[in-house]
Structure 1
């Protein structure tokens, strides 16, 4: 019995030791341990988890990180590089406020490491576009999830963003201009195709209930009006388009006539495409601010 107990105790000890010595493998795990080491002011751990060559060069990015607990957002892995949206407490210490930065990582010899210098540059010398990028990220997540719901709040946020965007430098706006133009053209094309399909459905189902036909006629008119505004794409036009698309999705979900079922599947697929293109737009727009 004693021998069996000793073997079990030894096995448990081995498991604990192995678990304690295991290295983080994914970018997310490495970033989490890196920021934990920052909170503990552990220069040796920082050097192990990042590209910092010597623990003596650890400078804490000229900030005090004691007990800092970050939140992590979207992770993008592109071959041997990765970025992780990282939300840190604001520098002025305001309760509940978070500042959004990027933790950069690279893969070296099979291990993911935080790019110490690049991450520090993002923290100590933020782009004037960074604040807007944070709002773009949040709005993008909401926009891609709400095409089938009411979007008055969302549209108001995009209206506010349009005004905020104008306050940024001309150079910053030029860097984002191409992404906005590309998205505007794609969104306009999607809306025109959706409008054309609705008009076809109305033509082929003239005996459908008046309520359904009225809803689809209003949807086509709204799409036509919003699409015209995208001739000169800006955040005001995007706000209007988001509202029109969200209302379209809501109306599609309330159609009662089975005659429109096949069209509904087509329209839902089209909205999925718009959702994916919108997600790509916000990623492009974020990239233009880096």
Structure 2
């Protein structure tokens, strides 16, 4: 998973610094060493790893970062700029609580450096949208991880999606109405195509076992009902659709008649398309809030 990879990468980088290894090159490496220097209150190292021109101007962003070890999330590199989702302990030291901010980086003369001023502003003057954007980032990362699993886990993947959708607030809906409408229409189209394919399979295999036919008939009915809710898309409707898709994936995997095998492959591919479109939705949703 992305989260685990970054923890491993961070530990490796810290050990590399302690051993006097080579200069960090990637945005991820620079960010990891920058925050290590912040934790050690090492103004000189902070200046070397960032755009801070003079170590004497180091202010620690008005925080004591002693022994702070951040968690890193999504990385976006856009030519000469990069952003890394960075989860830091809350300012009041509440146990287990983390605040999500962005570490900004720029590429100057071929070297990645943390944009000291911009990162500092993000920490000392947080945007009212920080909490919402943090939820979007975490959800996107979890979905990216679950979508990479095998097709045997389709039901679990879709069910997880449903639970995550419910975590969103009404405020998220208001801020991303256009993005949600577009996604709702796309989801309706996917579900309609899936429903028609199921009806076609039932028509082509009328002698299939009654148990299989009943499962597919119920799936088509559930998809139809859930699809209607998307006429007015909100996160509750998305969660309901995800449950319908989760149950569809589970039923597909339990079909016993070999004659449905080719259809199962088509349905699985359709669910994968839905997964990919959902990931794009979260990317669009994040962009809409910036």
Measured against the shorter chain, the TM-score band is 0.7 to 0.9
Measure the CA separation in 2 of the matches of 1:102 and 1:139. 16
Relative to 1, partners in 2 of residues 1:148 and 1:80: Cα closer, same or farther, differing over 3 Å?
farther
Measure the CA separation in 2 of the matches of 1:89 and 1:280. 29
Measure the CA separation in 2 of the matches of 1:84 and 1:254. 42
- Are the aligned partners of 2:104 and 2:118 in contact in 1 as well (CA < 8 Å)? yes
Mapping of 1:1-290 within 5 angstroms? 20=20, 22-143=22-143, 145=146, 147-149=154-156, 155-161=162-168, 164-166=169-171, 173-174=174-175, 176-290=176-290
Match of 1:148, SS state, is helix
Counterpart in 1 of 2:5? none
Measure the CA separation in 2 of the matches of 1:269 and 1:66. 49
Q: Give the stretch that moved more between structures: 146-155 or 199-208.
A: 146-155
Q: How many residues align?
A: 267
Relative to 1, partners in 2 of residues 1:270 and 1:95: Cα closer, same or farther, differing over 3 Å?
same
- Are the aligned partners of 1:149 and 1:247 in contact in 2 as well (CA < 8 Å)? no
Measure the CA separation in 2 of the matches of 1:28 and 1:160. 29
- Are the aligned partners of 2:71 and 2:88 in contact in 1 as well (CA < 8 Å)? yes
1:181-238 deviation digits (Å, cap 9, x = unpaired): 2211211111111111111111111111111111111111111111111112111111
Counterpart in 1 of 2:150? none
> Structure 1: any 5+ residue segments left out of the alignment?
1-15
Measure the CA separation in 2 of the matches of 1:79 and 1:199. 48
TM normalised by structure 2 equals 0.84
Measure the CA separation in 2 of the matches of 1:152 and 1:273. 16
Measure the CA separation in 1 of the matches of 2:81 and 2:97. 29
After TM superposition, give the deviation of residue 70 of structure 1 in Å.
0.5
Counterpart in 1 of 2:9? none
Match of 1:149, SS state, is helix
Measure the CA separation in 1 of the matches of 2:262 and 2:160. 31
Counterpart in 2 of 1:6? none
TM normalised by structure 1 equals 0.84
- Would you identify which runs of 4 or more consecutive aligned residues in structure 1 move more than 6 Å? none
- Are the aligned partners of 2:158 and 2:242 in contact in 1 as well (CA < 8 Å)? yes
CA RMSD in angstroms, aligned pairs only: 2.3
After TM superposition, give the deviation of residue 119 of structure 1 in Å.
1.6
- Are the aligned partners of 2:226 and 2:240 in contact in 1 as well (CA < 8 Å)? yes
